[in-house]
Chain A
């Protein structure tokens, strides 16, 4: 286990360097002068362009720029945007918001998704099963922005039960609707995967044995059946958490949440290359670590899986 962990952690180093360089090269290869649209329907003054080019080393080649960037990165400095704001600050303010939203979304999707999955898996072809089948189909078919706008309009504008957008305090109660929107599609997938998995294991020998031993149904389902059926669900939840922590451009945009997704989108549009690279670097790290955690969770759930 320890050696496995160490090996996985060491593997992260080349992956990290490789991805960051690729991102860096790609971002700077995007055609377009970063100052082209900055001054409206006229050129920026030469003195401004000269000043900025010099300040941000834009006249040097990409390898020198990348080396300088990595040097600062190792010192924990992500650099500055073209307007002189510290990128560390941007990430530090935006990331907690994304995390909060991700956790709310994950709780909602795991809670509702698993409950629906277990109930329908145990009683297949009943009314509830059909209802969940139809409603998950509906959720999967709807693009997230449709769900977002409809819920925002219904709850925020029409019934005025909540504020249409999230305030700067990011209260938990304000995040329920955005979290639901963000988790809606995954919730549907989780319900379906859990249902299939439960239904399949329901007929397994060990379940029959457990019932034959006279164990109460709650224990059969809660301990024996659920634990074995959770592996595909955990895989799904793990990758989903990685995706959620990468920010949700659409949901954050609809509900005015200052998260990492909005920051990336904004930086791409305004050609803030340094910000794009820095945020993506953080996301790469998050993804790599999330994958590791999911792999370790397998072993915890299924003792047959061991890492040497």
Chain B
């Protein structure tokens, strides 16, 4: 999963609905001139990647965007939000959702000219999972049989003892059959496994990776995607160019792509206004106020939705918040529509379901606790025996969360008569440190963007005991059991149905409060005549025409 530098939320690769740019449809100008497009170059907004560009080590959006264009995975997530499709994979077959036979297309190449073979996947995954390599995305391989043998845990957490060196460095569940085929055995049936394969942690690595140091490789990465790496000037720009030997679907129409690495969003926005920047994914909040960006950019402004939800989470380890009735009361006292209209000018939509509705398998409108009903909320609060003391709503003050969090606190105060207020923590890092350590003394904001497009990703990490982002320590044995069964369902359809049932149980407990669904406001230059955004709102480079 990736985190945005602006810390607006937890971000990852995922999927969303159709994101055809407003005012950029192909009917307008017929998609541009073929000549201008063919040798065309564009400059798009980027952020300095925190780490060298190694897929299994990239957890933030700055590097993630570049990794996404440098690599092509086994499956891809279509721009229109449909089910994942095979990209590099020729076929992914399974009878029991436990053993998968993966065949890859013949004749695709890495940027250094070597062929992409089955062993490039197996070696890359083994490298990422092997704990002494310290890959930040290592835990993505925990589904695979033998993960426990290559990734050892620190016996005393952060204490003085160190994790023992694993006995083996290869997972027993991975087997190369021939150059184009490999077999993956999972430790338990997981219906959603093929969907996960589009996430950047699962990208193949060329042989050159294993003979170089990862840091060195990451400064001059060799991928297998539609563009190849040219140069990287720290904090200034990363240059990429079309890979002419690329033979999969998303071949580029333009030639050169430069990611200009900005520190300040306002500088980027000034460049966008001055046509000195061709695409900016997220227009800064300062330009959103009063819909200023619409006047500034005219028909160069675009508005879309992304599969991200903002939550307010309960620290359930604090005994004041253990009563589900109290949690439901707080949730029902929040007027989400007013927050959406007054604070976000309608750019973010009031949340009414547990999993973001843009996710495959996610039922819409299944959050009964998301209804605004102050009368029922008051009654529930009474049944719960009221709330003693001060209810604090925490947020990280280094990003624009103050306004809406204060609005929420004010609504709770007015509608429930609880002494509520909002308080900012100075930085995202300090904020997360307290959350990770389970030291929060009140409710806190959170955001979730799926790692991969499936309802499963909105349940297991968030509401199952031990889930990677279940920071409030919510635990309901019924939910755990049902989620486990749903994960192991024989087919994806069955799995989706069962997860929908799990969310009904979650709805009864209200472990967090969904508040709003994110929207995205982007802008492009006059030069770009046609473009599409992908499932998570990033620019689809292959669609760009000048």
Show the binding face of A for B, using Cβ within 8 Å.
31-34, 36-52, 54-55, 59, 82-85, 89-90, 93-94, 149, 152-153, 156-157, 160, 163-165, 168, 252-256, 258, 262-263, 265-266, 269-271
Contact = CB atoms under 8 A, between A and B. Distances in A.
B136 A38 contact: yes
Contact of B235 (A48, A254, A266, A269): A266
Interface string B223-252: 000000000011111000000000000000
Given A39-B59, A41-B471, 13 more contacts: A37-B7, A37-B427, A38-B50, A41-B9, A47-B134, A47-B135, A47-B153, A83-B51, A90-B234, A165-B267, A168-B237, A258-B233, A258-B235
User: Which of A34, A47, A83, A165 has the largest number of chain B CB atoms within 10 A?
Assistant: A47
Interface of B: 1-3, 7, 9-12, 48-52, 59-60, 131-136, 138-139, 151-154, 157-158, 160, 162-163, 215, 218, 233-237, 260, 262-264, 266-268, 270-271, 273-276, 398, 427-433, 436, 446-448, 461, 468-469, 471
A254 B264 contact: yes
A83 B154 CA distance: 22
A40 B59 contact: yes
Nearest to A268: B427
A270 B50 contact: yes
B468 A42 contact: yes
A51 B132 contact: yes
Given A51-B133, A163-B276, A46 B237 contact: no
A50 B12 CA distance: 24
A83 B436 CA distance: 22
Contacts of B48: 266
Contact of B274 (A51, A149, A163): A163
B295 to A, nearest CB: 12
B432 A37 contact: yes
Nearest to B158: A49
A90 B468 CA distance: 35
Which of B60, B236, B273 is packed against the most chain A CB atoms within 10 Å? B236
Contacts of A82: 50
Contacts of B49: 83
Contacts of A156: 270, 274, 276
B433 A40 contact: no
A163 to B, nearest CB: 5
27 contacts: A31-B430, A34-B429, A36-B432, A37-B427, A39-B136, A40-B3, A40-B12, A42-B1, A47-B151, A48-B138, A50-B134, A51-B131, A54-B162, A83-B52, A84-B218, A85-B52, A153-B270, A156-B274, A156-B276, A165-B276, A252-B263, A253-B264, A256-B264, A256-B267, A266-B48, A266-B235, A266-B263
B234 A48 contact: no
B132 to A, nearest CB: 7
Given A37-B427, A39-B136, A48-B135, A157 B274 contact: yes
Among B9, B11, B134, B276, the one with the most A-chain Cβ atoms within 10 Å of its Cβ is B134
A45 B139 CA distance: 7
Contacts of A165: 267, 270-271, 276
Contacts of A263: 235
Nearest to A145: B266
A37 B469 CA distance: 13
A162 B139 CA distance: 48
Nearest to A160: B274
Given A54-B162, A84-B52, A42 B469 contact: yes
A292 B176 CA distance: 68
B44 to A, nearest CB: 14
A33 B436 CA distance: 11
A41 B274 contact: no
A70 to B, nearest CB: 24
A36 B433 contact: yes
Given A40-B60, A84-B215, A157-B274, A262 B263 contact: yes
Contacts of B234: 85, 89-90, 93, 258
A39 to B, nearest CB: 5
A38 B7 CA distance: 10
B136 A48 contact: yes
Contacts of A49: 158
A209 to B, nearest CB: 55
A116 B428 CA distance: 47
A153 B271 CA distance: 10
A53 to B, nearest CB: 9
A46 B154 contact: yes
A51 B131 CA distance: 8
Contact of A41 (B10, B51, B275): B10
B270 A38 contact: no
A152 B270 contact: yes
A38 B432 CA distance: 9
A46 B429 contact: no
Given A37-B3, A84-B52, A164 B267 contact: yes
A40 B268 CA distance: 24
A258 B267 CA distance: 13
A103 to B, nearest CB: 20
Nearest to A41: B10
A247 B358 CA distance: 45
Nearest to A265: B263
A50 B162 contact: yes
A173 to B, nearest CB: 15
A37 B426 CA distance: 12
A83 B134 contact: no
B445 to A, nearest CB: 10
Given A37-B3, A40-B10, A164-B267, A50 B154 contact: yes
Contact of B469 (A41, A52, A160): A41
Contacts of A262: 235, 263
A54 B436 CA distance: 21
Contacts of A34: 429
A62 B154 CA distance: 24
Contacts of B131: 47, 50-51
A186 B202 CA distance: 54
A160 B446 CA distance: 41
Nearest to B10: A41
Contacts of A164: 267, 270-271, 273-274, 276
B478 to A, nearest CB: 24
A216 B349 CA distance: 77
A3 B52 CA distance: 50
Contact of B267 (A42, A85, A255): A255
Contact of A40 (B11, B52, B151, B154): B11
B273 A157 contact: yes
Contacts of B275: 160
Nearest to A55: B134
B219 to A, nearest CB: 8
A46 B153 contact: yes
A164 B7 CA distance: 26
